[in-house]
Amino acid sequence: MLLEKIYSERGWDFRNYKRASLKRRIQKRFAALNAGSCKDYCRSLDTDPAEYDRLFSTLTIKVSEFFREPEVFDFLSRTVAERFKRDEGIKAWCCGCAFGEEAYSLAIVLSECLSAEGLKNSRVFATDIDSDALDTARKAVYRGESLRNVTQEVQENYFFKVDGMHKVKYNIRNLVKFGTQDIVKSPSISKVQVLFCRNLFIYFNKFLQEKVFEKLDYSLVPGGLLVLGKAEVLPPRFASGYTPLGERLSVYEKKA
């Protein structure tokens, strides 16, 4: 009933997200408002429409950090260096980019692997359903905890300090283009060569995983690289179209 209400009032479609995780998140809002039942909570939504935004923010879990699962980024750096030409541009897409940590990490990898000419023709498209998170991402200012996987050398090369915080340098920010996109409802980006979609499928039920994966599959060019979260696997219907690379990293190459 609540999910239907959110969908009809705001167009946010959480109906095929995993119920257990949604329930835990919704309970947090119930507790914050002392709502004893779904009916009580719906009344709060009607009397205080700003509660929709608080609920939305609670339901879209945005935990991330730079170079999350560093072994995946190490592997990716080697693979990009081996498979792509230094002077040719790469079109990358980071779907479900939260506050931008992953998109900037990917831009740093491209910076390390490509020449100035290659970078000039490269772009990381970074999308998320949460436009407030993207406003924060565009500012590119982070607390030290978000950089715990970033080596001193990379920090010195790609960040500078502002008021005790870490800001991503302009050359990296310039590679990343943020845009609001609900991957459940919107069409995907075409001709992508490196596609990150990590820690988003874990929130979807099987039906939605397949539906969204169809869009990712459409986006990637043959030979393109797909990176899922380490706890995520390809929907079985698509598995034969991809070759796993590396050891249990959830990095795949799309077959020709």
Ligand X SMILES: C[S@@+](CC[C@H](N)C(=O)[O-])C[C@H]1O[C@@H](n2cnc3c(N)ncnc32)[C@H](O)[C@@H]1O
Which residues of this protein are in contact with ligand X, per CB under 6 A? Answer: 60-64, 68, 96-98, 102, 128-130, 133, 181-184, 198-200, 229
Q: Which is nearer to ligand X, 60 or 111 (CB)?
A: 60
Q: CA 168, CA 161: separation in Å to the nearest integer?
A: 9
Tokens of 117: 């000419």
Burial class (CB in 10 A: 0-12, 13-18, 19+), 120: exposed
Q: Which is nearer to ligand X, 14 or 118 (CB)?
A: 14
Minimal distance in Å, beta carbon 14 to ligand X? 8
Closest CA to 140 of 105, 112, 110, 113: 105
What are the DSSP calls for 195-247, one per residue? EEE-SSGGGB-HHHHHHHHHHHHHHEEEEEEEEE-TT----GGGGGGEEEESS
Minimal distance in Å, beta carbon 199 to ligand X? 4
- AA letter at 172: I
92 in Cβ contact with 119 (< 8 Å): no
Q: Which is nearer to ligand X, 24 or 43 (CB)?
A: 24
Q: Which is nearer to ligand X, 94 or 114 (CB)?
A: 94
Q: CA 174, CA 193: separation in Å to the nearest integer?
A: 19
Closest CA to 200 of 30, 62, 85: 62
Minimal distance in Å, beta carbon 57 to ligand X? 9
Minimal distance in Å, beta carbon 77 to ligand X? 17
Q: Which is nearer to ligand X, 35 or 109 (CB)?
A: 109
Minimal distance in Å, beta carbon 17 to ligand X? 8
